[in-house]
Amino acid sequence: MVISLAKRDLITIEDLSNQEIEAVFALADEMAEGLREQSNVCRGMIMASLFFEPSTRTRMSFEAAMNRLGGRVISVMEMRNTSLAKGESIADMARVVGSYADIIVIRHPWEGAARVVADYADVPVINAGDGGHEHPSQTLLDLYTIKKERKTLEGLKIALWGDLKYGRTVHSLAYALARFGATMHFRPSAGFEMPEHVIRKLTAEYAGRLERYNGPKEEKEKGLIPLDAIYVTPSGPHQLANIPAVGIQIELEKGVDALYVTRLQKERFEPSAEGLKKGYPVVDKKLFKEKGFKETIVMHPLPRVGELAYEMDSDPRSMYFKQAAGGVPIRMALLSLLLGCKTVDIPESKVPSFAKKMEHPVYKRETGVKCQNEKCVSVQETEREYIKHEFQIVSNEPLTLRCVYCEHEIHPPYIASSKWHQGLVENKRYYKADSFMLGRIKPENLIIFNSEEKAQHQGFKLGKRVKPVGNAK
């Protein structure tokens, strides 16, 4: 069945189904076979390349890809060269650039910025990295490399290494691997663990089973032992029989298919990372003598800054330069699909395309509930005026809201119902979010407050029934 991806955005890796990802790879193979023969595919098209953070590989491979396809590129590389420096909003920039170009590729330090561009531009938008959030086109070329080396994407064992907190590439990669039924070992440097909101998605939405490390603390501190492991079966909810009945350490000795190394994202936090860098694990020949790594390929999105020894370059298991080279055919395939210059052919039997995406109720009332992530686009001074705070209600125990822009979570303390007050001031009551009242209010009627003052300011009084859920009889 022929499917068009024309006009679609790629903001998160979840925007593509597994079958669409495989179809991008098939087209990338075709492109790779004749890189110089594609110069009519996107003739007459313009790509806007907006990179407001440093980039070598991503920007140049996108630009090389568009050039190889016969299209043209307009670009800006620094915020200070645009009207953003004059205080222009991302939304206004997006509208304007969308009227100059046929597709926009954007890298920006604020988490959720690419989503805002997609909301306001009339052309397809590709997220080339939004702060520490996601980097989905990098994931495409990471998976492409894994598939080439391992011949499949299903059911692999992958270790993610280094800065899992701020590394956007590992967030997108983990979501994709989960959908292909991977077992993942997380080996963060101390203090740079996978964020809880990412773990929640992997466990709740991809039915992954989480195993936390509970071995000796000293071993953990050495940084070589995975802190957590996630096991996912490709077909959805776990059948217990499929879960390996072994601990993380035993799993480790059996080896992993790929070790994905990342650098410390020192530009994303204060104070300076120099002290932290001391404990950062290094991948070198000595480590790769370990039994568990015998068949393991080494990957890295690059740039490397000390965590991956140069002596590994001659090792046949090292894949990072090959990985980077895949960026051009992958991005050629992606651009030509989103521009509608190519279509994908997906076998009929495989068409139920999305690995069932979980739908959550949305909360977007103006009650002062804001994202707490200071890097989120929704809380920036230039964007605050027009961006409406919007969340998915991802859990009721405890009440958990996920920001639709950066995906960070908040746990607001007070709730009320819009149904019950019906304009009668005396009926306006608010309750604690951990009381059983939460279960009584339909999501569409839910009103959420950050503080009692906010609730009272809007005319609500504290309701009587405020017992926490656990005590409810």
Note the residues at the interface with ligand NCD (CB under 6 A).
57-58, 129, 135, 138, 168-169, 262-263, 301-302
Minimum Å distance from CB 276 to ligand NCD?
Answer: 15
Minimum Å distance from CB 222 to ligand NCD?
Answer: 23
Which residue, chain included where needed, has tokens 């561009």?
Answer: 117
Closest to ligand NCD by CB, 133 vs 179, is 133
For residue 455, give the DSSP letter: H
How many C-beta neighbours within 10 Å does residue 209 have? 17
Question: Which of helix, strand or coil describes residue 421?
Answer: helix
Minimum Å distance from CB 126 to ligand NCD?
Answer: 12
Minimum Å distance from CB 167 to ligand NCD?
Answer: 6
Minimum Å distance from CB 410 to ligand NCD?
Answer: 25
Minimum Å distance from CB 28 to ligand NCD?
Answer: 17
Q: Are 458 and 405 in contact (CB under 8 A)?
A: no
Q: Are 384 and 410 in contact (CB under 8 A)?
A: no
DSSP E strand stretches across 114-253: 125-130, 157-162, 183-188, 209-212, 228-231
Closest to ligand NCD by CB, 135 vs 402, is 135
Minimum Å distance from CB 283 to ligand NCD?
Answer: 14
Closest to ligand NCD by CB, 19 vs 137, is 137
Question: Which of helix, strand or coil describes residue 402?
Answer: strand
Q: Are 418 and 394 in contact (CB under 8 A)?
A: no
Closest CA to 196 of 402, 434, 450: 402
Question: Which of helix, strand or coil describes residue 297?
Answer: strand
Closest to ligand NCD by CB, 135 vs 375, is 135
Copy the structure tokens of residue 282.
């290094």
Closest to ligand NCD by CB, 262 vs 392, is 262
Cα–Cα distances (Å) from 272 to 110, 251, 262, 335, 373, in that order, read: 19, 35, 18, 37, 20
> What phi and psi values does residue 80 have, to the nearest 5 degrees?
-70, -15
Closest to ligand NCD by CB, 57 vs 95, is 57
Closest to ligand NCD by CB, 140 vs 355, is 140
